[in-house]
Amino acid sequence: MEILEYFGTENKEYWLDKMKESDWGAGRYLYKLLKSGTLKQLVGENTRVLMLTDGNDLVSFCTLAEKDDIQPTDLTPWIGFVYTFPQYRGHRHFGKLLAYGEALAKAEGKTGIYISTNHIGLYEKYGCEFFKTMKDIEGNDSRVYVKRF
């Protein structure tokens, strides 16, 4: 398996089509943002889309961005749009993307990564800790986790 960064690939349309196959609304929303070229306007110019691939298959993807759906906030960076395709679930593949994102954040002098979610028991497996409940951009409560390093 290999980690690719979407904006650094030559075959963006291929990987974009793979993301579109996601059965999750936020995955399809990420597809629309990438297709329209508006993702970086929404969550930050330095946003990266990390993809775990197995040959020509897309296993898992997420973003590493200055912002996510908790805005405004000074907390940064955020892991968002986390998705693993059903046939690859249960093997902690996302952990590879999280470790890669951690390394990128550390290289930029960051001391932690934040995740906004309503899942309980998922991100704890990867060393994330519940930080606090915050309002998302739609005004709903969201659980915010932090992984410190």
pLDDT digits (tens, 9 = 90+) for 99-130: 999 999 999 999 999 999 988 988 999 999 99
Residue holding tokens 């990390």? 50
Handedness of CA 64, 66, 71, 73 (dihedral sign): positive
- CATH fold of 2-148: Aminopeptidase (3.40.630)
Q: Is the pLDDT of residue 59 over 90?
A: yes
Closest CA to 2 of 100, 106, 74: 100
Residue holding tokens 């897309």? 58
User: Looking at the chain, which runs of residues are DSSP E strands?
Assistant: 2-5, 48-54, 57-65, 78-84, 112-117, 129-135, 141-148
The share of the chain scoring above pLDDT 70, in percent, equals 100
Distance CA 63, CA 43 (A): 9
The contacts of residue 55 (CB under 8 Å, 6+ apart) are: none
Sequence ranges of the domains in the chain: 2-148
